[in-house]
């Protein structure tokens, strides 16, 4: 446990700020991936503001850890983190998905500082992360690589190709994080394919599996530490989350995978942010 209660509180505040930043990107009437961005917001806050070595003054710093957003549609949450470091100006948040903005609808390393790969066609991010991890290991570099996957994304066969390969290559500088929110674009993950015993599935492929409540900051931090400390091979954190977390009107609803909020919902969402701020202060 290399963190204090004070840090935990700081990170909880960051997670609220991250969700506020997400709201800024999807004002009423603008379609955006609210659900899958807010489900992974706590994990992303822990990664960017605690676990990862990032250098905002030099986005291409060779010492930086890498985060590959395999579930690329949730890139809003990554923009929400990056803007806190000043990778780009806050004004850009309002220009997301516009012709003149630098924040694309899906991650684009050529357009956005701090984005490390092109993702969005699902199922590819873990493989890219594995390639990076293997490259760092060849050069004997300590950089750690994280890949964020959606649970629905696990239906892509390539994910399991990467799972097998990462174990085969004993890639211990790689951590996969599954945003296990149980929902995908059209329905629940369970209805679409058998996702039960997910921990056993990964573990049978030789991965070190850590299962947590993906909204509990202490559990998240412990898991990230444990994953990095495990040196026998790759680790996966199965983060149980709620799609649309912190916005009750959207929580657990497939509809908010990619939707526009009404004026009322938007107001409600901001009220949620204010309440969360009060809670964490208390």
Partner 1 sequence: MRTSDSLRKTYGETLVELGKDNKDIVMLEADLGNSTMSAMFGAAYPDRYFQVGIAEQNMASVAAGLSLAGKIPFINSFAVFATGRGYDQIRSSVAIASLNVKICGSSAGLSDFGDGKTHQSIDDIALMQVLPNMTVLSPCDAIETEKMAKAMVECDGPIYLRINRNDLPLVSDPKANYKIGQMTEMVQGKDVVVFATGVMVQQSMEAAKILEKEGISIRVVNVSTIKPLDIDALESFCDGVKGVVTAEEHSIIGGLGSAVCSALSNKRLPIEVLGVQDRFGTSAENYSILLKNFGLESEDVAKKVRKILADN
> How buried is 184 (Cβ within 10 angstroms: 0-12 exposed, 13-18 middle, 19+ buried)?
buried
Shortest spacing between CB 70 and partner 1, in angstroms: 10
Of 127 and 189, CB closest to partner 1:
127
**Residue of 83, 70, 86, 13 lying closest to 36 (CA atoms):** 70
Give dist(CA 259, CA 247) in Å, integer.
13
CB of 234 to partner 1, least distance (A): 13
Q: Residue 105 or 252: which CB sits closer to partner 1?
A: 105
> Minimal distance in Å, beta carbon 109 to partner 1?
5
Q: How far is the CB of 1 from partner 1 (least distance, A)?
A: 31
- In this complex, which beta carbon is closest to partner 1, that of residue 29 or of residue 168? 168
Each as own residue / partner, the long-range contacts of residues 271-274 (CB below 8 Å, 24 or more positions apart, any chain) are 272/246, 272/247, 272/248, 273/16, 273/19, 273/20, 273/23, 273/246
If the CB atoms of residues 157 and 194 are measured against partner 1, the closer one turns out to be 157
Q: Tell the smallest beta-carbon distance from residue 129 to partner 1 (Å).
A: 6
Positions in the binding site for partner 1 (CB under 8 A): 66, 68, 108-110, 116-121, 123-125, 127-136, 138-139, 145, 157-158, 161-162, 164-165, 168-169
Classify burial at 131, counting beta carbons within 10 Å of its beta carbon; exposed 0-12, middle 13-18, buried 19 or more. Answer: middle
- Based on CB atoms, which residue is closest to partner 1, 119 or 181? 119
Shortest distance, position 181 Cβ to partner 1, whole Å: 23
Q: Could you give the CA distance from residue 116 to residue 180 in angstroms, rounded to a whole number?
A: 23
Give one word for 33, left, alpha or beta, with left for phi > 0 and alpha for psi -120 to 50: beta
Which C-beta is closer to partner 1: that of 45 or that of 69? 69
């Amino acid at each position: 446990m290399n963190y204090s209660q004070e840090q935990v509180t700081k990170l909880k505040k960051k997670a609220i700020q991250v969700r506020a930043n997400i709201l800024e990107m999807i004002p009423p009437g603008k379609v955006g991936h609210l659900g899958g961005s807010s489900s992974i917001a706590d994990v992303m806050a822990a990664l960017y503001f605690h676990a990862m070595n990032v250098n905002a003054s030099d986005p291409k710093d060779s010492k930086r850890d890498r985060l590959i957003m395999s579930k690329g549609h949730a890139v809003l949450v990554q923009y929400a983190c990056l803007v806190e470091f000043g990778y780009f100006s806050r004004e850009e948040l309002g220009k997301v998905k516009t012709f003149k903005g630098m924040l694309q609808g899906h991650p684009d390393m050529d357009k956005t500082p701090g984005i490390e790969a092109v993702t969005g066609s699902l199922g590819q991010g873990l493989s890219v992360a594995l390639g990076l991890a293997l490259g760092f290991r060849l050069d004997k570099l300590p950089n750690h690589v994280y890949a964020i996957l959606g649970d629905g994304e696990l239906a892509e066969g390539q994910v399991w190709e990467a799972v097998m390969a990462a174990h085969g290559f004993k890639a211990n500088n790689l951590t996969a994080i599954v945003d296990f929110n149980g929902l995908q674009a059209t329905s629940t993950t369970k209805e679409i394919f058998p996702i039960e015993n997910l921990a056993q599935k990964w573990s049978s492929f030789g991965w070190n599996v850590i299962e947590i409540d993906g909204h509990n900051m202490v559990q998240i931090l412990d898991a990230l530490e444990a994953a990095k400390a495990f040196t026998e091979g790759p680790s996966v954190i199965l983060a149980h989350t709620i799609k649309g977390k912190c916005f009750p009107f959207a929580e657990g609803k497939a509809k908010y995978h990619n939707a526009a909020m009404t004026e009322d919902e938007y107001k409600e969402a901001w009220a949620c942010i204010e309440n969360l701020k009060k809670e964490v202060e208390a």
